[in-house]
Amino acid sequence: MRFTWFIGLLVLFAAVSCGPSRHAIPIEMRYPSKSGVDLAGKNLTVAYPVTGEYESDRFVKKMAVAFSESLEKDYGTGAGSIEVCSVDTDEGNYSTRDSMVSLLMATGADLVFLFEPLSLPKEKSVAVPLKVTLRCYDGMNKDDKVQSFSGTTMVDLTSSAGILSEADKVGKAVSDSFESQWKMEQYSIAYYDSVKWYEALIRAEQYDWKGAMDIWLGMLDVKDLMKRAALEYNIAVSCYMLGIMELAEEWLDRSDADNKMPTLSDGLRKRIAARKS
């Protein structure tokens, strides 16, 4: 019923236009975290230090595990997909770039997080300020440097069981800064009044971008430059949605060469440039 109404509405709009019509599709898009670190599609490792201080070490370990579990849920990588490992602090400065690169290579990750050691106070209290520092090295980032993130939180250290519970809370709280930001955006698709165009548009409405692109690719032998430009623009949108930015630009170039649609083309180019930066 939903698609019957949808197609009927499209026919009504198409009947009043000789050029391509436009249909806006609302899409919730994933953007990098508040920290600015983009984790989408990357293999991650979370490391924690071992200092020999029993309670501090198990606090940091539990914090690292909670941190990794939160990221697994956010990025849909599945339980246990982010490796959690320890590093020996006796081996000198373990958080330098060279040490982080070695850790990255040893684990086969694209990006590695490393928590700094913590020194828990011996006197237990219900309100203890705790500074947490997290290092990050992204092997896919052209800046090639170790980033550092710090923050202070209050923890309750009044019981042994409470220590691990607090560590879990801190790890989850730290993960908040690295979880995805989602924004609702609208993307326009060009179409004409025919069954094939509607079939592809319905696929796009269902976020089946590969399926929609396959239909548009199969229609490229059309002689009408306006229609071909619309097809090429739509293919560029599909490539963008699939994360293939270079190919999206190539198809947009073809569309502009055949019959540029300034509003659609310029808007998509800005979005591609923003995702590539």
Structure tokens at 182: 């989602």
Fold observed for domain 2-31+182-276: 1.25.40
| DSSP code for 145 | -
**What is the Cα gyration radius of the chain?**
25
Q: Model confidence over 178-216: pLDDT tens digits? A: 988 888 999 999 999 999 999 999 999 999 999 999 999
- Percent of the chain exceeding pLDDT 90 equals 64
236 closest CA partner among 260, 211, 254, 258:
254
Predicted local confidence at residue 91, as pLDDT:
63
Fold observed for domain 44-179: Rossmann fold (3.40.50)
Contact (CB, 8 A) for 238 and 209: yes
Residue 110 has pLDDT above 90, yes or no: yes
Provide the residue ranges of all domains of the chain, joining segments of one domain with +.
2-31+182-276, 44-179
Mean pLDDT of 147-166: 84
pTM, entire model: 0.70
| DSSP code for 85 | E
Contact (CB, 8 A) for 115 and 48: yes
Q: Model confidence over 24-77: pLDDT tens digits? A: 999 988 887 889 898 988 999 999 999 988 888 999 999 999 999 999 998 877
CA atoms within 13 A on the CB side of 75: 26
Pair type for strands 111-115 and 44-50: parallel
Torsion angle defined by CA atoms of residues 205, 211, 212 and 217, in that order, rounded to the nearest 10 degrees: 180
Query: In the chain, which ranges are E strands?
Result: 21-31, 44-50, 83-88, 111-115, 128-138, 146-155, 181-191
Residues 6 or more apart whose Cβ sits within 8 Å of residue 237 = 187, 189, 204, 209, 248, 268
| CB-based burial label for 263 (10 Å; 0-12, 13-18, 19+) | exposed
Q: Write down the residue that tokens 């198809």 correspond to.
A: 251
